């Protein structure tokens, strides 16, 4: 059998022939009809759609959101880290595409950073310092360390309000300093003796 739009020398294997057959189409149509009959009973993504603000009706992935609303973003220890392709027949090509895409994103990010004003760059870096990728345990430990550092700084006087002293106490302190100076002069104590 000759494939449509291909040269006569290309032969189709049995899987390709089956995928183009009438029986395959009937099996596929029956499977889709069965799936669509129960689709309305399945859970939905529920994220707010940008187009009309209504809940998304796509089927969710494992984390409860569809592929368009964060379902493909890894959570936990894989948060904001590249996902590498599974080992399989097309893994080498998929890995090459993934690496090329990551390099393209890196160059695009570098160009965007170069075009930022110093204020925008400072805000950008502060945002990224607060949201570092890594394991959930590492991020929790870092948050706890920052919380403890802030508490220690407050305790050691970083943000503690200074005590206001009364004018009488200030006058007494000044008089004490003068009397000590007079005593040092009378007894002959100083830096030259």
**What dihedral do alpha carbons 103, 107, 113, 114 form, nearest 10°?**
150
pTM above 0.75, yes or no: no
Summarised one tens digit per residue, pLDDT across range 1-58 is 455 555 556 788 888 888 889 999 999 999 999 999 999 999 999 888 888 989 999 9
The whole-angstrom distance between residue 110's C-alpha and the CA centroid of its chain comes to 18
Q: Name the residue with higher pLDDT: 17 or 190.
A: 17
> Does 2 fall in a domain?
no
Instruction: Say how far apart CA 25 and CA 70 lie, in whole Å.
Output: 33
- Statement: residue 100 has pLDDT above 80: yes
**What dihedral do alpha carbons 181, 186, 190, 193 form, nearest 10°?**
180
> Does 31 fall in a domain?
no
> Does 115 fall in a domain?
yes
pLDDT class of 129 with cuts at 50, 70, 90: confident
> Does 118 fall in a domain?
yes
> Does 121 fall in a domain?
yes
Structure confidence at residue 193 (pLDDT): 55
**The total number of structural domains that make up the chain:** 1
> Does 85 fall in a domain?
no
Residue 151, domain extent: 105-156
- Statement: residue 163 has pLDDT above 80: no
Secondary structure percentages of the chain, helix, strand, coil, to 5: 55, 0, 45
Instruction: Say how far apart CA 133 and CA 131 lie, in whole Å.
Output: 7
């Amino acid at each position: 059998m000759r494939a449509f739009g291909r040269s006569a020398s290309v032969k189709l294997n049995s899987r390709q022939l089956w995928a183009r057959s009438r029986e395959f189409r009937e099996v596929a149509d029956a499977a889709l009809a069965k799936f669509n009959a129960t689709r309305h009973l399945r859970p939905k993504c529920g994220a707010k759609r940008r187009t009309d603000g209504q809940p998304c009706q796509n089927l969710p992935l494992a984390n409860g959101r569809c592929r368009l609303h964060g379902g493909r973003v890894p959570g936990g220890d894989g948060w904001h880290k590249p996902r590498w392709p599974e080992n399989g027949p097309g893994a080498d090509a998929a890995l090459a595409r993934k690496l090329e895409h990551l390099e393209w994103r890196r160059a695009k990010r570098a160009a965007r950073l170069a075009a930022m004003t110093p204020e925008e760059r400072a805000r950008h870096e502060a945002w990224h310092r607060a949201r570092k990728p890594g394991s959930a345990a590492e991020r929790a430990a870092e948050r706890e360390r920052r919380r403890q550092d802030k508490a220690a700084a407050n305790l050691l006087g970083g943000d503690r309000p200074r005590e206001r002293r009364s004018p009488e106490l200030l006058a007494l302190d000044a008089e004490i300093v003068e009397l000590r100076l007079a005593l040092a002069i009378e007894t002959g104590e100083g830096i030259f003796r």
